[in-house]
């Protein structure tokens, strides 16, 4: 990476970091979901939203603002999330049936939109980190099969890599429209992209056999982008 690119990268990161603090958001990732929504018109007043890997709550704050008082916003994470007015949070693993049952109970139906800003604990070995990122996305797609309404929307983050097309093909079997987007709030040097999928078509079964689950479940840390 050249010094100029590194400088631009840090300037952008610092800008959104300061802006998040100034405007009361918990992470600069708040601006990523704002920009995604501004571009793709994700949120509607009264929507039911589920945010997977929701800690520290930056996406939850934006979702709460944009769906209004009549909407439902629920965040799920392995870590407790500091309370946000009008938002319900669940501490649990999205791959655990008990967490899914609790989520369905709190939804009292199904969600209009599922969000996922989940990321693995990075190891420094990009091929491993990429594979784990894809696995988390596949897990989120499985959750969509259980909690997302017909024609619902799904927004997920993934690290680019050689398994990216596997994920895209999977999404295209479940959604009528699948688009790739990189928000301005993302660092220029970041390998992350966001996939915006619309028009959910649920399948009869749900599985993630094409991506093997890691033997050590603690290798994953479902999280958002901290300040």
Q: Report the candidate in 58, 22, 48 with the shortest Cα–Cα distance to residue 183.
A: 58
**Catalytic member of 157, 198, 209, 222:** 157
CA pair distance 75, 81, nearest whole angstrom: 8
What is residue 107's three-state secondary structure?
Answer: helix
Q: Where are the alpha helices (DSSP H) in the chain?
A: 3-23, 29-40, 58-67, 97-107, 126-147, 164-174
Q: How many CB atoms lie within 10 A of CB 92?
A: 17
157: annotated active-site residue: yes
CA pair distance 190, 199, nearest whole angstrom: 28
In angstroms, the first-to-last Cα distance of the chain is: 23
> Count of H helices and E strands in the chain?
6, 7
What is residue 93's three-state secondary structure?
Answer: coil
Distances in whole angstroms, Cα of residue 65 to Cα of each of 68, 112, 169, 201, 227: 6, 16, 33, 28, 20
What is residue 164's three-state secondary structure?
Answer: helix
List the catalytic residues.
157
């Amino acid at each position: 990476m050249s010094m100029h690119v590194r400088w631009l990268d840090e300037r952008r990161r610092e800008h959104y970091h300061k802006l998040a603090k100034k405007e009361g958001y918990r992470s600069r990732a708040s601006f990523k979901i704002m920009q995604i929504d501004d571009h793709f018109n994700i949120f509607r007043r009264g929507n039911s939203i589920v945010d997977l890997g929701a800690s520290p709550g930056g996406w939850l704050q934006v979702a709460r603002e944009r769906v209004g008082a009549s909407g439902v916003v629920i965040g799920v994470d392995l870590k407790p999330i500091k309370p946000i007015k009008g938002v319900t949070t669940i501490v649990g693993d999205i791959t655990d049936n008990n967490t899914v049952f609790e989520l369905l109970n709190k939804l009292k139906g199904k969600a209009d939109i599922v969000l996922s800003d989940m990321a693995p604990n990075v190891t420094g070995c990009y091929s491993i980190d990429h594979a784990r990122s894809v696995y988390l996305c596949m897990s989120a797609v499985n959750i969509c099969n259980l909690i997302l309404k017909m024609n619902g929307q799904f927004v997920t983050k993934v690290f680019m890599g050689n398994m990216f097309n596997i994920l895209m093909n999977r999404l295209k079997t479940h959604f009528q429209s699948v688009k790739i987007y990189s928000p301005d709030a993302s660092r220029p040097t970041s390998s992350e992209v966001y996939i915006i999928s619309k028009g959910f078509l649920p399948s009869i079964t749900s599985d993630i056999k094409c991506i093997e689950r890691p033997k050590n479940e603690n290798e994953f840390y479902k999280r958002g982008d901290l300040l």
